[in-house]
Homo-oligomer: A and B are copies of this chain.
Amino acid sequence: MTSEPARSPAENAELALLLEVAGTPKPGNVDRHRDLPDLHFEHFLAGAVGARPGLERAAEGDPVGEAFEAAVSGMATQRGGNTQFGCLLLLVPLVRAAAEGDLSPAGVADVVAATTVDDAVAFYRAAEHVDVAVGDPPTGAEDLDLRRGADAEPAIRERELTLEGLMALSAPADGNAAEWVGGFERTFATAERVLADEGPVTDRAARAFLDLLADRPDTLVTIQHGEAVAREVRERAGAVEDLEQAEALAEEFAAEGINPGTTADLTAAALFVALERGLDV
């Protein structure tokens, strides 16, 4: 056996997407053993493959917004719809930071701080490729509703809103945006837990998911079912002691239509950081 070259940041990001969806059980999400009614494992495989050119662009130094839009556009070349929009929102700045040689909270904060109004506009264009689940915008910011897509461009430009600024507005209601403006705190902490964990990577992914879900309410669940349900979901995840118990929770969440998708996004981001920091597959 000869020594093999390491994977590039874009390759690790794609692999993180694949390992995330393979991790099982991840209650309420598509995983190696479960599909959702119109969203299947194979859609995630195709989404990950399609996202890679955009991830490569992030590594090469293209504007973060353009790279994100390219990744989402490629991800959308499958029939399941929105498979990995949130994952990619986290991965794009992390890939950039890794390519620049500083995959740390400070390094990715620099990437976030450097985002522009054009990046924010590109983010809205990206949202036109798939249906993204979002809550209602804050009062006074109706013109920034993500569902407006590229029609929001004049409002973004008038407010001189960068992508960082947009994420700051969204952070209270969106766990991914909170990562963006909080130095990816939960991402880096979870990556270290994954590295310290043992066994197959897909089992570590499932445990990381459960820990994150028990730690804070999933904001996608909040958007879709309200705060009370999201709190209850968090409590139920916290009561799970191992992956075997999580299997039962997975059946329950599937029956109840509970989909903690933001927690899955964070899991993918943490897997990426862990891969960059030497996690062996």
Q: CB within 8 Å of B: which residues of A?
A: 1-2, 4-7, 11, 14-15, 18-19, 22, 32-33, 40-43, 45-46, 48-50, 52, 73-74, 76-79, 128-131, 200-202, 280-281
Known contacts A2-B129, A129-B1, A129-B2; is-contact A45 B73 (Cβ 8 Å): no
| Number of copies of this protein chain within its complex | 2
A50 pairs with B11, CB closer than 8 A = yes
How far, in Å, is A235 (CB) from chain B's closest CB? 31
A19 touches B45 (CB 8 A): yes
Instruction: Give Cα distance in the complex from A78 to B4, angstroms.
Output: 9
| CB-defined A-B contacts under 8 Å, sample of 24 | A1-B76, A1-B129, A1-B130, A1-B131, A2-B73, A4-B50, A5-B77, A7-B46, A11-B49, A11-B52, A18-B48, A18-B49, A22-B41, A32-B33, A40-B200, A41-B202, A42-B200, A42-B201, A43-B281, A45-B281, A46-B281, A52-B52, A78-B281, A79-B281
Q: Are B15 and A202 in contact, CB atoms less than 8 angstroms apart?
A: no
| CB-CB under 8 A for A22 and B42, given A14-B49, A32-B32 | yes
- Nearest CB on B from A32, distance (A): 6
